[in-house]
Structure 1
Amino acid sequence: MGQFTGKIAILGSGNIGISLAKGLVKANYVPAGAITLTRRTLSHLTGFANLGYQISADNATAVAASDVIVLAVLPQQLNQLMEQISGAIDIKRHVVISVASGVSCAAIREKLGAQLEVIRAMPNTAIAIGQSMTCVAADHASAENIAEVTKMFETVGAVVKINEDLMTAATALCACGIAFFLRGIRAASQGGVEIGFHADEALKMAVQTAKGAADLLLQMQSHPEQEIDKVTSPKGCTIAGLNEMEHNGFSSSLIKGIKLSAIKAGALYTKE
């Protein structure tokens, strides 16, 4: 079982990895000096070295010096990364967290060691502002380690533990989902321009309205239809607009898009 009080290596420090590192430090989970960030091009990380993080271009060395290993590369780069670090993995000491979409815990253990504890995490890009919706899953990790990984990702948003067979579904709903809601906000702002607002005004109004809608549900613990009922009066303008959108496939297109994204998310990684 890995020691979470120890050191963390984030291999492949792109947006997700760096956001996690910042969140852990901001929440006083660990000091910056306990985190090693790796990247092929070290010059991208010099600013982080100045902030006290360890930086390295050598993944195997970073693994050897750490207890918790975060695999934060794209699925297409994962096999190459696992080849680099397999010799440095200590099954008794290391816990591996993978944020690569579509790659099972079993596939990682197959390359790095059958008894290794691997926990998958699927955050989204709102991790950059500490508002991620992260789903975590494992096949045979201990309850303590799953709880600890949950705590790590709670420094950057909300966390839900799910069954591993739902991880590609979580990718579509939460990770791809950010883009779907953003496109909805953009469309609303374009409608705003057509009815008379300047583009910057319309965008600000659409963004705050969307935020208000989400916060209503989070804070009131209510259902969207309950809140919709409060806005739609008989023969009113809201229900007219809403029904027009539904006639044009509003809900249906969102559902179909999420289903297609889930299919694609499951096909991003190949074992070889």
Structure 2
Amino acid sequence: MEQYKGKIAILGSGNIGLSLAKGLVKANYVSPSQISLTRRNVAGLDAYAAHGYHVSTDNAAVVANADIVVLAVLPQQLNQLLDQIKGVLDVNKQLFISVASGVSCADVRNKLADQAQVVRAMPNTAIAIGQSMTCVATDNASEANVKEVVRMFETVGAVVKINEDLMTSATALCACGIAFFLRAIRAASQGGVEIGFHADEALKMAVQTAKGAADLLLQMESHPEQEIDKVTSPKGCTIAGLNEMEHNGFSSSLIKGIKLSAEKAGALYTKE
């Protein structure tokens, strides 16, 4: 991959921000010296400083020298952050990437400058191992800037470009979705304990089975029901188990949970 030549500021170096930084360096998209990380307490970034990343508590100073600015704070902290940096912007040169849930591109531009180039990205925590599902959207950014954001996040997983009005839905399905699938794996492992396995054995078996199911769909490019049909024989044990789960609302509860998470994601940010 051709290295990006500019400087990247990641404001709010929590799990997502730090995972992105590590992923970009691991994929040789940039070197550590091209990335600045900010946090209120930089003591937590000592290990990154030792590896050549710039670390700072001064968001404005970091933004003044950046080409790409990643807004990686919680939605509740975003307005304060935007107030800190709006005096040092160069909107003709800088690209802003927001990973804050429920915050539109227009919301960010209203706080910064109307002509600012803003792209929303919604990764999930699998970004830490280069397996994120990241959705990307914008309302005004140039095609070149969107391509750069896609290229950036493809270094840490898969990327899909979507319409911006679907971003809160993407949050529920992909970002919150990690927790839903983890809970399903946990439940399967608990079932394994009930039928005789030790907890560590049951968890390993459930995890690998879930990974196998996902890889089947990815590599075979098939539909879940196609693969389910291959495991369900007449009067068999698989269909009996599936039907019992459905009688108890398995699919319905998952669908309802995703819908509720989408509603919550859309209400996390207050414009004022």
Output the TM-score relative to the length of structure 1.
Answer: 0.98
Q: Secondary structure at the match of 2:60?
A: helix
SS at match of 1:76: helix
The aligned amino acid for 2:243 is N
Q: Distance in 2 between matches of 1:189 and 1:195?
A: 10
In structure 1, distance between residues paired with 2:202 and 2:176: 24
1:80 aligned onto 2:96: no
Q: Offset at 1:93? A: 1.0
Q: Is 1:188 matched up with 2:188? A: yes
Cα drift, residue 5 of structure 1: 2.4
Secondary structure of the structure 1 residue equivalent to 2:96: strand
Q: Does 1:205 align with 2:176?
A: no
CA–CA separation in structure 1 for the residues paired with 2:17 and 2:88: 20
Map 1:117-266; keep pairs closer than 5 Å.
Answer: 117-266=117-266
CA RMSD, aligned part only?
Answer: 0.6
Alignment of 1:12 onto 2:27: no
Q: CA deviation at 1:101?
A: 0.5
Q: 1:27 aligned to 2:27?
A: yes
Alpha-carbon distance between aligned partners in 2 of 1:173 and 1:248, rounded to the nearest angstrom: 22
Whichever residue aligns with residue 205 of structure 1, its letter is M
Hey, what does 1:56 align to over in structure 2? 56
Aligned partner of 2:269 in structure 1 is 269
CA offset digits 1:14-66 (Å, max 9, x no partner): 11001111111111111110000000101011110100001111000000011
CA–CA distance in structure 1, aligned partners of residues 44 and 55 of structure 2:
10
| Residues 142-177 of structure 1: per-residue CA shift (max 9 Å, x gap) | 111101100100111000000000000000000000
- The aligned amino acid for 1:208 is Q
Partner residue, 1:107: 107
Long gaps (5+) in structure 1: none
User: Counterpart of 1:18 in structure 2: which amino acid?
Assistant: L
SS of 2:160's partner is strand
Kindly tell me the number of residue pairs found equivalent between the two proteins: 269
| Cα shift readout 1:183-203 (whole Å, capped 9, x = no counterpart) | 000000000000000000000
Letter of the structure 1 residue corresponding to residue 265 of structure 2: A
Tell me the distance in 1 between the aligned counterparts of 2:103 and 2:21: 22
Q: Which runs of 5+ in 2 are unaligned?
A: none
Name the SS for the 1:28 alignment partner: coil
Using the TM superposition, give the Cα deviation of residue 218 of structure 1 relative to its aligned residue in structure 2, in angstroms.
0.3
Structure 1 distance, partners of 2:258, 2:66, is 37
State how far apart, in whole Å, the 2-side matches of 1:118 and 1:193 are: 49
Match of 2:89 in 1: 89
Kindly provide the CA deviation profile for residues 83-126 of structure 1, in whole angstroms up to 9, marking residues without a partner as x: 00000111101100000000000000001000000000000010
Secondary structure at the aligned position of 2:233 is classed as coil
TM-score (norm 2): 0.98
The code of the aligned residue for 2:191 comes to: G
| Alpha-carbon shift at residue 256 of structure 1 (Å) | 0.4
Distance 2:227 2:270 in 1: 44
Local SS of the residue matching 2:115 = coil
Partner SS, residue 261 of structure 2: helix
